[in-house]
Structure 1
Amino acid sequence: MKIRVIASALAIAIAGFSASLAGAATFGTIGPDNEALAPLGLTNPLSGYFGANLYLIGSNVTIRATVLGQEAGYNNRFSFYGQTYSSNNLTTFENDSNGVAQFLQSGLSSGLLDFWFGANSALATLSATNGTNADNSSASIANFFVSFLPNATATFGQSVLLFLDDGAGGTSDNHDDLVVRLDIVGGHLAPVPVPAAGLLLLGALGGLAAIRRRRQSV
């Protein structure tokens, strides 16, 4: 069995492998009405995934969550491992390393990431939680769009952008209501046994479970 050594990574959890997830991730684009893309220096339109959920591959990893800004009338919120940012109805985007706010969480291991967005002070009907992220099929349901850096078509990497659509609908359905970047900033390299063409397993919770079982048998 071949052993590959890969860096700790953030990856999309493909819902087809787990009944606990809302639905399958769908590749698509956001823009041209997204007001975050130009100030953040991003391609317009931007490629990525609707209905995606994120998990971590690795051990003893530190992740930095940087709130880059928002354009919304709602008082939206972002919570990352219990650390919460409130937008307070501001309209601004900060294209720098500090952003509008930052949170660090250390000592993380493989598994679904613990974060959620709350729209309009986190009303129960307007929230988007990692693990049950909606697919944007309804303009009235809050959801977030996922795009990896620097390759927006990737399904895993060490940096990822999250774009909230707070469910206001109409012309506000453009995924710029709150924008957050997640970066892996520390952690060990993880030895992962995979076949030569098996890296796509890293894009599924089922693949992650299989990897764990193989590690135990090595």
Structure 2
Amino acid sequence: MKFSTLSAGVLAVAMSLGASMASAMTAGTIPGGTSFNDGLVPVYGAGTTSRAGWYGASIWLNGTVDLKFDFYGSEAGYNNGFDFGGSNLFATGGTTGTGTWGSPGSPLASMTINNVSHGLLNFDFTANSGAHTVMNGANPDASSPTSAVPNFFASITSNPVGTSGQAVDLWFDDGGAGSDDNHDDMMVRISVVGGNGGVGVVPLPASIPLLLSGFGLLGLMARRRKQA
């Protein structure tokens, strides 16, 4: 019951980081350029000036697990949101507030969803009251510090330079301030808290993720080996 990596046709039971079908996955750090990220110190503690992780990643689930979603805060002036399974879990503004941050282990809001089945996790970030949507599986690789494309940056909670762990931190950049590339417009942590399996991100061709809902991760890998 953990996050782990799937690559080159090798299957591991886990939640991990890999390329989305929109782009390649690129290692990097936030914030980019000379920008400042308002959430790093509140979330990770005093003295934190950057965070390692991955651009262009998508998040996969292998097995059936219980997932906890924690909203740690937002800097954005836009009305942004985080949706899972077609329902809004968190939004900026209101009681959670823009410019408000939780501390380590103390998110502003949390929700647990039980018995989440394997496959590409069905979540998205919305920016500017839904003017832009960044869906898991189609997350742009906005690794350039001059990029103004809405996207999320993924970082394994316990090991930011790794691709496997028990939780993954998602830092959203809504593109509203142009090329600031600070990725502090919304931060959500997804954690495996129960069940049998984990979540994974896989660098596969664009057509492959579309098949997962029909065949399942194990069945799909077996099918590809047989065809080869």
Q: So what's the TM-score if we normalise by structure 1?
A: 0.77
Distance of 1:149 and 1:173 partners within structure 2: 20
Percent identity between the two aligned chains = 35
Q: So what's the TM-score if we normalise by structure 2?
A: 0.74
1:214 shift after superposition: 6.6
Q: Decide whether aligned partners of structure 1 residues 39 and 97 sit closer, same or farther in structure 2, where only a CA change above 3 A counts.
A: closer
In structure 2, the partner of 1:47 is 52
Q: Which runs of 5+ in 1 are unaligned?
A: 16-20, 191-200
After the TM superposition, which residues 154-193 of structure 1 pair with which residues of structure 2 at under 5 Å, given as runs?
154-170=162-178, 172-188=180-196
Distance of 1:165 and 1:202 partners within structure 2: 20
In structure 2, the partner of 1:76 is 80
Q: Which runs of 5+ in 2 are unaligned?
A: 1-10
Does the 8 Å contact 1:61/1:107 carry over to 2?
yes
Match of 2:19, as an amino acid? I
- The answer to whether the aligner puts 1:130 opposite 2:133 as a matched pair is no
Match of 1:36, as an amino acid? G
2:44 partner SS:
coil
Distance of 1:181 and 1:146 partners within structure 2: 9
1:83 shift after superposition: 3.4
Distance of 2:116 and 2:72 partners within structure 1: 23
1:188 partner SS:
strand
In structure 1, the partner of 2:69 is 65
Distance of 1:176 and 1:214 partners within structure 2: 36
In structure 1, the partner of 2:19 is 14
1:170 shift after superposition: 3.7
Distance of 1:166 and 1:202 partners within structure 2: 22
Q: How many pairs does the alignment contain? A: 195
2:41 partner SS:
coil
Does the 8 Å contact 2:44/2:104 carry over to 1?
no
Q: Which has the higher contact order (CA 8 A, sep 6+)?
A: 2
Does the 8 Å contact 2:22/2:137 carry over to 1?
yes
**Cα RMSD between the aligned structures?**
3.0
